[in-house]
Amino acid sequence: MEQEGFDSEKGRRGALIVVEGLDRAGKSSQCEQLLHNLQTLGHQVRYIRFPDRNTPIGKLIDGYLRGQSHLDDHSIHLLFSANRWEVAPAIQELIANGVTVIVDRYSYSGAVYSAAKRNPNLSIQWAWQPEVGLPRPDLCLFLSISPIEAAKRGGFGLERYETDTMQKRVRDLFQSLLELPHNDEICVIDAGRQFNEVAQDILEPVLECMKNVDSIGPLRRLGPWSFIPSGESST
Ligand code: NYM
Ligand code: MG
């Protein structure tokens, strides 16, 4: 009989785990901790983050975020999306080879930050459109932090979007996303607590998801805005 544990993972696909949230919610530190925890348990894991500033498209995004260039709102939005599309084949391959992929920000940040600009010609529905067909996360952990707790963590950096007004709008839009029907793959984590408590609260649903990934079936694709979690299978 097959033993429960790492050996029984052979032949199992990896899980696509996304970590989302506002700036200063602690996403990157928690992703690194999660990577460490999963590797310590013997799992094969990769950590990637969006924007990936190292690709040619990522360099354009980086220049824009640092205020070194000006781009039309739609144009920069599509570059953020293109930045995910260029990495998507590598994600799919890793997952197919049994590697779990942790992703720091994904399509949810993409839609929400662009829509928060309140450009009358850039609705959240428009913003979601280029995401349709990308690998769909098996689990999305939303790190939630109150504005008061965020303020305690120090000031913003100097990048675009790092202002109180933008962050408030982003928070409200993330909230509307969490209220969409059928979003059961999104798990809200109270990130305003001690680092280790938050890390533990993240690890548990991730391990559960990795264990049950066979019951989800092959990696799926993101569907249209009103049915984000109901995409078709990608294979
Ligand atoms: N951002 C990130 C977007 O506006 N659209 C996207 O698709 C993604 C992935 O980039 N303020 C914004 C959110 C952040 C900024 O990300 C830089 P980070 O994780 O702070 O380096
Ligand atoms: Mg940031």
Instruction: Give a yes or no: residue 11 inside a domain.
Output: no
CA dihedral 104, 110, 112, 116 (to 10 degrees): 120
Residue 124 lies in a domain: yes
| 37 CA to centre of ligand 2 in angstroms | 23
Q: What is the pLDDT of residue 227?
A: 57
Say how many Å lie between the CA of residue 98 and the centre of ligand 2: 30
pTM of the model as a whole = 0.92
* Domains: count for the chain: 1
Q: Identify the three-state secondary structure at position 213.
A: helix
If one residue of 61, 65, 134 were mutated to test the ligand 1 pocket, choosing by the most ligand atoms within 8 A of its CB, it would be 65
Residue 177: the pLDDT is: 86
CATH number of the domain enclosing 171: 3.40.50.300
**Ligand 1 pocket, 142 CB below 6 A?**
no
- Atom 3 in ligand 1: residue holding the nearest Cα: 110
Residue 228 has a pLDDT of: 57
The tally of CA atoms less than 13 A away on the side-chain side of residue 217 is: 8
**Does the beta carbon of 64 lie inside 6 Å of ligand 1?**
no
* One pLDDT digit (tens) per residue for the chain, 235 residues: 333 334 344 679 999 999 999 888 999 999 999 999 999 999 999 999 999 999 999 999 999 999 999 999 999 999 999 999 999 999 999 999 999 999 999 999 999 999 999 999 999 999 999 999 999 999 999 999 987 788 788 777 889 999 889 999 999 999 988 887 767 789 999 999 999 999 999 999 999 999 999 999 999 999 987 655 443 444 3
Domain range for 129 is 20-212
Whether 118 is in a domain gets the answer yes
> How far does Cα 43 stand from its chain's mean position?
20
- Establish if 127 belongs to a structural domain: yes
- C-beta of 225 in contact with ligand 1 (< 6 A): no
Contact present, 111 and 26 (Cβ < 8 Å): no
On whether residue 82 sits in a domain, the answer given is: yes
| Residue at 137 is within a domain | yes
Of 112, 115, 60, 116, the closest CA to residue 83 belongs to 60
Q: Counting ligands in written order, which one lies closest to the CA of residue 78?
A: 1
Q: Where are the alpha helices (DSSP H) in the chain?
A: 27-40, 56-65, 73-96, 107-115, 124-128, 147-152, 164-178, 195-211, 213-216
- pLDDT for position 77: 98
In this prediction, residue 2 carries a pLDDT of: 38
Among the atoms of ligand 1, which is closest to the Cα of residue 50?
9
Asked, for residue 6, whether it belongs to a domain, the answer is no
Contact 13, 215 (CB under 8 A): no
Query: How far from chain centre, in Å, is Cα 104?
Result: 5
Flag whether 80 is in a domain: yes
